[in-house]
C-alpha cells in the first residue's frame, strides 16, 4: 500500500474459530488489530477467518507467511479439543514441543492463589513450540508465540479479547513500531447530507491531493466520513500535510462538513447555541424524541436545550403546538405547512429562540403514491422566519428515523452558521 508517496510494510490477520465463522460471536479482534496496526504505519493487507480445521489453518498461515512482513494469528490456543493452533504451528515451522518452566510457574501461582491444583487439561499450556519466543500471558492461561520464517514474523495470540489486547500492546506493537521509521497520522473529516457518489462528484479530481495523503471514504446512512492517512518523517510535517488536505476538502464541501475525528453533530449544534447565547426546543413526530435524546447526550445541554415535545398524533399537534387543523385537513400531517407550523408553535410554547420540527412517514406502512414511505419535512424557525426542507429517505423504519434526526440537527447547524435562507 502507498500513503501519499510512501510505501508501507504489510501484515495479515488470520482469525481462527468455528464460533466466528458461524456468526455466534462478533470478530472484534480483527477490528482492534486492524486499527492498531494501521496506526503503526503498517498496512493490513488481508483478514482471513477460518474454522477449527487443521488443514485449512495450515494453508492460510503458509500463504500469509509468503506474502507479508508480519502475520498475526488469533484464537485456538486454549486447552480444549478444538484449540489446534499450536499443533498447526508445529507443522508449519517444522518443530516439536518443549516445556517452558516460566509458563508452568505462572499457571501454578495462579491456581495456588485460589488454593487449587492446575487442572490436568491446562498442563498442556506449558508445552510450547521449540522455535517460539514465548509471549507470557499475565491475563490468562494461554501464552502467545513469536515465530520467524524467512523475513516474516508470526505472532500467535489468544482469541480472548482481553488477553489478545494485552499481549499485542506488550509484545507485538513495540516490535512493529521499532521496524518503521515513519510517523503514521490520520484524520477523520465528518460530513452529512450527501451520498458517497455525490460527495466525490463535488470534490472533483483527487490526483494532485492524493500525492499528499491517502484519502478514503467511510459511508453510512448518517453521512460519509473521509479518512485522511499519511506517513511522515515527523509529526509536525504530517500535521501540515493533513491540514493542507483538509483545507482542500473543506473548500469543496463547506456546507456538508460538521466536524472531525470524534466530533458529533449534536455537540457542534450545542457549541454554536452557547456561542450565540440561544436556546432550542424540538417538536418531533416520526422521530419520537430521537433529536432530543441526541441533544441531551451532550453534557451541559441544559444550558441551551429548553424542551422537547413528541406530537405523534394529529390531535397532539393541534392541542400542544396550536397547529391549525385546517392545515392538516388540506395538506396532511406530513407536509411543508404543518412542519413550519410545528417549528413556530414549539417556539411559542416553550419560549425558545429556535424551534426545529420533524414530521414524516418512517415506514414500512403508511405511504402512498403521493406521499411515499420515507417522505419527511423538517423545519427550523427563529426570529428571522421559517425554513423547511423536504426529504425522501429510503431505508427501513429505524434508519429513516435516524436519518431524520441527523438531518434536523444539520439544518439547525446550518441555520446557526447563517447558511440557510427562508
Top-tier CATH class for 2-178: alpha beta
pLDDT of residue 3 exceeding 60, the answer is no
Compute the distance between CA of residue 148 and CA of residue 132 in angstroms, rounded to an integer.
Answer: 8
| Region label for 354, one of left (φ > 0), alpha (ψ between -120 and 50) or beta (otherwise) | beta
What is the domain partition of the chain in residue ranges? 2-178, 183-260, 265-416
pLDDT at 5: 45
User: How does residue 249 score in pLDDT terms, banded at 50, 70 and 90?
Assistant: very high
* 153-183 pLDDT per residue, tens: 999 999 999 999 999 999 999 998 877 667 7
Rg (CA), the chain: 28
pTM: 0.75
| CATH superfamily membership of 265-416 | CinA-like (3.90.950.20)
Instruction: With a cut of 60, say whether residue 6 has pLDDT above it.
Output: no
> Residues in the chain, how many?
422
- For position 336, what pLDDT does the model report? 98
> What are the pLDDT digits (tens) for 44-92?
999 999 999 999 999 999 999 999 999 999 999 988 887 899 999 999 9
- Alpha carbon distance 92, 251 (integer Å): 53
- Which residues 6+ apart lie within 8 Å of 389 measured at CB? 377, 378, 379, 407, 411
> CATH says 183-260 is which class?
alpha beta
What's the pLDDT score for residue 344? 98
pLDDT at 1: 43
pLDDT digits (tens, 9 = 90+) for 332-359: 999 999 999 999 999 999 999 999 999 9
pLDDT digits (tens, 9 = 90+) for 223-243: 999 999 888 888 899 999 999
What are the grid coordinates assigned to 403, written together? 436519518
pLDDT digits (tens, 9 = 90+) for 90-128: 999 999 999 999 999 999 998 998 889 988 888 899 999
Q: Residues near 33 by Cβ (< 8 Å), separated by ≥ 6?
A: 13, 44, 72, 74, 164, 168
Amino acid at each position: 500500500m502507498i500513503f501519499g508517496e510512501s510505501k508501507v510494510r504489510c501484515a495479515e490477520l488470520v482469525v481462527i474459530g468455528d464460533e466466528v465463522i458461524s456468526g455466534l460471536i462478533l470478530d472484534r479482534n480483527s477490528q482492534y488489530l486492524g486499527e492498531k496496526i494501521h496506526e503503526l504505519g503498517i498496512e493490513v493487507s488481508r483478514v482471513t477467518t477460518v474454522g477449527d480445521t487443521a488443514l485449512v489453518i495450515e494453508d492460510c498461515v503458509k500463504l500469509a507467511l509468503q506474502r507479508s512482513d508480519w502475520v498475526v494469528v488469533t484464537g485456538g490456543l486454549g486447552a480444549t479439543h478444538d484449540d489446534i493452533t499450536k499443533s498447526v504451528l508445529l507443522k508449519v515451522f517444522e518443530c516439536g514441543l518443549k516445556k517452558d518452566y516460566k509458563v508452568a510457574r505462572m499457571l501454578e501461582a495462579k491456581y495456588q492463589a485460589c488454593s487449587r491444583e492446575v487442572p490436568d487439561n491446562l498442563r498442556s499450556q506449558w508445552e510450547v513450540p521449540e522455535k517460539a519466543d514465548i509471549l507470557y500471558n499475565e491475563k490468562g492461561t494461554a501464552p502467545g508465540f513469536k515465530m520467524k520464517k524467512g523475513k516474516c514474523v508470526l505472532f500467535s495470540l489468544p482469541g480472548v479479547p482481553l488477553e489478545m489486547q494485552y499481549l499485542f500492546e506488550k509484545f507485538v506493537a513495540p516490535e512493529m513500531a521499532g521496524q518503521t521509521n515513519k510517523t503514521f497520522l490520520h484524520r477523520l473529516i465528518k460530513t452529512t447530507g450527501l451520498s458517497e457518489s455525490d460527495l466525490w462528484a463535488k470534490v472533483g479530481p483527487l490526483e494532485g491531493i492524493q500525492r499528499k495523503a491517502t484519502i478514503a471514504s467511510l459511508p453510512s446512512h448518517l453521512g460519509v466520513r473521509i479518512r485522511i492517512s499519511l506517513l511522515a518523517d515527523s509529526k509536525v510535517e504530517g500535521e501540515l500535510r493533513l491540514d493542507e488536505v483538509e483545507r482542500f476538502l473543506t473548500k469543496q464541501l463547506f456546507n456538508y462538513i460538521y466536524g472531525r475525528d470524534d466530533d458529533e453533530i449534536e455537540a457542534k449544534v450545542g457549541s454554536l447555541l452557547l456561542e450565540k447565547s440561544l436556546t432550542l426546543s424540538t417538536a418531533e413526530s416520526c422521530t419520537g424524541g430521537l433529536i432530543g435524546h441526541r441533544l441531551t447526550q451532550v453534557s451541559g445541554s441544559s444550558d441551551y436545550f429548553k424542551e422537547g415535545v413528541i406530537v405523534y398524533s394529529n390531535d397532539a399537534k393541534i392541542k400542544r403546538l396550536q397547529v391549525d387543523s385546517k392545515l392538516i385537513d388540506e395538506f396532511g400531517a406530513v407536509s411543508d405547512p404543518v412542519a413550519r407550523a410545528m417549528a413556530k408553535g414549539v417556539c411559542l410554547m416553550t419560549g425558545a429562540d429556535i424551534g426545529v420540527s420533524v414530521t414524516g412517514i418512517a415506514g414500512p406502512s403508511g405511504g402512498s403514491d403521493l406521499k411515499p414511505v420515507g417522505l419527511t419535512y423538517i423545519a427550523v424557525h427563529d426570529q428571522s422566519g421559517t425554513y423547511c426542507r423536504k426529504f425522501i429517505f429510503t431505508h427501513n423504519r429505524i434508519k429513516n428515523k435516524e436519518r431524520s434526526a441527523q438531518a434536523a440537527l444539520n439544518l439547525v447547524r446550518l441555520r446557526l452558521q447563517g447558511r440557510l435562507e427562508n
